[in-house]
Structures are given as structure tokens and as C-alpha cells.
Amino acid sequence: KGPDPAIAAIADRLSGVKHKILVLSGKGGVGKSTFSSNLSLFLSQNDDTQVGLLDIDICGPSVPKMVGLEGEQIRQSSSGWAPVYVSDNLAVMSIGFLMANQNDAVIWKGPKKNGMIKQFLKDVDWGDLDFLVVDTPPGTSDEHLSIVQYLKDAGITGAVLITTPQEVALQDVRREIDFCRKVGVPMIGVVENMASFVCPKCDKSSVIFPATSGGARGLAIEQNIPFLGSIPLDPRIGISGDFGESFVDQYQDSPAYAAYASIISSISA
Ligand code: ADP
């Protein structure tokens, strides 16, 4: 059996995309989709930067809600599936747009999941993009192998690994790092999420997991990959995600915004 013809079709489809960034996490619930959404919103603040956000987190596509596009449907155009636009220069495609019910995907079996992922990579008409941010499912499953395989010819710029500082999450990041090394995906770096809490009233910062404080940075150093920074737990991030309001537009005076800004400047550099 020769190579899957979809691999070449995907490379062709994504030939106008300069940077393809995978957002990975070892565990669910660490803030991966929040990061993918905010990264895309941040990058699109520059009107001249064309950004696409592709949500293939089959386990629970939460991107539509986070970017305020819940309930939108995919439109078919003559050249593929048309993404849904948050703004002129931020296009979004999510498996969530295909599901009448948010819980539908939970019962999908492997081949159906892989088929969907393949279709999403192959059929979305992005046009020319500076950045395509891909929100992947948590962990290192068969889906990840498929994603990497499908993007083999298109080329992956790199992966950003999101983690919280707890030891259980860090262990899973080690696995994620192993995975990237084995399949040859370059790692842009590690982002730590929710290590500290900044009180919105007094702006004082408290460490949430003291036992493993600094663990993500330590892991990055030990593994010889860049540590990109730490985003504090900030209720305004949660609220923005729950209501689909842009944290990036609304809370530019918050410490979490400053953390994002610094992380994203190193990603886009
Ligand atoms: P994952 O994609 O890893 O499963 P999500 O991005 O869905 O995780 O985040 C899980 C929950 O945590 C969401 O309700 C989100 O709003 C919240 N969250 C993520 N990061 C932060 C943060 N830095 N501060 C506050 N809430 C956050």
C-alpha cells in the first residue's frame, strides 16, 4: 500500500499557509483550547496578519464557544469548506460546527475520528495565512499520529506544549515531548498555565501548587526545550472563554495579558 493520497492533497491545500503551529497538552483541562483561542486572537490583533484556527479536538471541541461562534454552521463553497470568521483576518474551523449536539463526538470510534481529522485538514478553504493554529485532542493518541502523518508533506512549524504545574500533568508532558521527538515534530516550547493566581482586586499573586512550583520551567530546561512563560489563573480568562468574549480585547491591563503578550512574541518571532 502506497502513501495516503490525502497527504499530498493536504500539502497542496495548505501551501498558502506560512506557519503551522500545533497546540498540544498531555492532559485535558489544562487550558489548551483557551490558549489556542487566545493565541489566535492575539496574532490577529495585527490587521496585516492572516490567522486560521483549526479545532480538531474531537474529545470536546470548545473553540466555537471560546471565540463567540457557538451555533455557527459550516458552509460548503465550490473550493471546499468555508471557515467561519471572527474578524476579517481570523478564520475558524471546528468539528463543533458539524455537531448538532456538543456531546456527539464522545461516541465516535477511532476510524471515524481519523476520517474527520483528515477531512478537516484537506477540505477547509483557508486561502493564504500567516499562521494556522491547530488545537489538538489532549494526550498522545492515534489521532495525534494521524495528524502528524497527514501533515508530513505540508510541514509543521512546531508544537507548543501546554501544562499546569502539577506532577501528574508534568508527567504527561514528558510523554508529549517523547512523542514529538519520535515523530520529528519541532517543539517551539512549553507554556505553563494556572501556576499562580492574581487577585483581580489587589493584583497580588499567589502560587497555587507550591510543591511543584517551577516544575514546568525545570522540565523544559531538563529536556532542552524553550520555556515560553507562565500564564496566571485569572477569572477574567475563564469568564471570557465561557461567554465567547475576547480576553485579548478586553483585559489588556491584566497580568495574564502581559504573560500572553510575552509568550506570543516569542512564538511569532
Ligand atoms: P483544555 O483545552 O486543556 O481541555 P480549556 O482551555 O478548555 O482546557 O480550559 C479549561 C477551563 O479552564 C476553561 O473553563 C477555561 O476557561 C479555564 N481556564 C484556562 N486557562 C485559564 C486561566 N489561565 N485562568 C482562568 N481560567 C482558565
Q: Distances from the Cα of 154 to the Cαs of 6, 167, 191, 253, 256, in angstroms?
A: 11, 35, 25, 38, 33
Q: Average the pLDDT over 48-74 and give the result.
A: 90
What's the pLDDT at 252?
85
Say how many Å lie between the CA of residue 241 and the centre of ligand 1.
8
| Number of other CB atoms surrounding residue 100 within 10 Å | 6
Q: If pLDDT is split at 50, 70 and 90, which confidence band does 248 have?
A: confident
Total-model pTM: 0.94
Higher pLDDT, 1 or 191: 191
3-state SS, residue 208 = coil
**Ligand 1 neighbour 237 (Cβ under 6 A):** yes
The segment with the largest mean pLDDT, out of 52-61, 158-167, 245-254, is 158-167
The answer, yes or no, to whether residue 203 has pLDDT greater than 70, is: yes
Q: If pLDDT is split at 50, 70 and 90, which confidence band does 243 have?
A: confident
The answer, yes or no, to whether residue 57 has pLDDT greater than 80, is: yes
Summarised one tens digit per residue, pLDDT across range 30-46 is 999 999 999 999 999 99
**Ligand 1 neighbour 194 (Cβ under 6 A):** yes
Strands (E), 10-152: 17-25, 51-55, 75-77, 80-82, 84-87, 90-94, 129-135
Percent of the residues in the chain that have a pLDDT greater than 90, as a whole number: 59
The answer, yes or no, to whether residue 70 has pLDDT greater than 70, is: yes
**From the alpha carbon of 242, which atom of ligand 1 is closest?**
16
Q: Average the pLDDT over 53-77 and give the result.
A: 87
Amino acid at 72: E
With b for 16 or more beta-carbon neighbours within 10 A and e for fewer, the 224-242 pattern comes to: ebebbbbbbbbebbeebbe
The answer, yes or no, to whether residue 100 has pLDDT greater than 70, is: no
User: CATH classification of 5-191, choosing from 1.10.10.10, 3.40.50.10680, 3.40.50.12500, 3.40.50.300?
Assistant: 3.40.50.300
Say how many Å lie between the CA of residue 47 and the centre of ligand 1.
27
Contact 150, 118 (CB under 8 A): yes
The answer, yes or no, to whether residue 97 has pLDDT greater than 80, is: yes
**Ligand 1 neighbour 61 (Cβ under 6 A):** no
Q: What mean pLDDT is reported for the chain?
A: 90
- Segment 59-62 long-range contacts (CB within 8 Å, at least 24 positions apart): 59/28, 59/105, 59/106, 59/137, 59/138, 60/28, 60/102, 60/105, 60/106, 61/94, 61/95, 61/96, 61/99, 61/102, 61/105, 62/33, 62/96, 62/241
What's the pLDDT at 107?
63
Contact 195, 31 (CB under 8 A): no
**Ligand 1 neighbour 229 (Cβ under 6 A):** no
Torsion of CA 26, 66, 52, 191, to 10 degrees: -40
Amino acid at 75: R
Cell of 29: 483541562
The answer, yes or no, to whether residue 182 has pLDDT greater than 80, is: yes
Q: Where are the domains of the chain?
A: 5-191
Residues 6+ apart with CB under 8 A from 103: none
From the CA atom positions of the chain, what is the Rg in Å?
A: 18
What's the pLDDT at 99?
77
What's the pLDDT at 136?
94
- This complex has an ipTM of 0.99
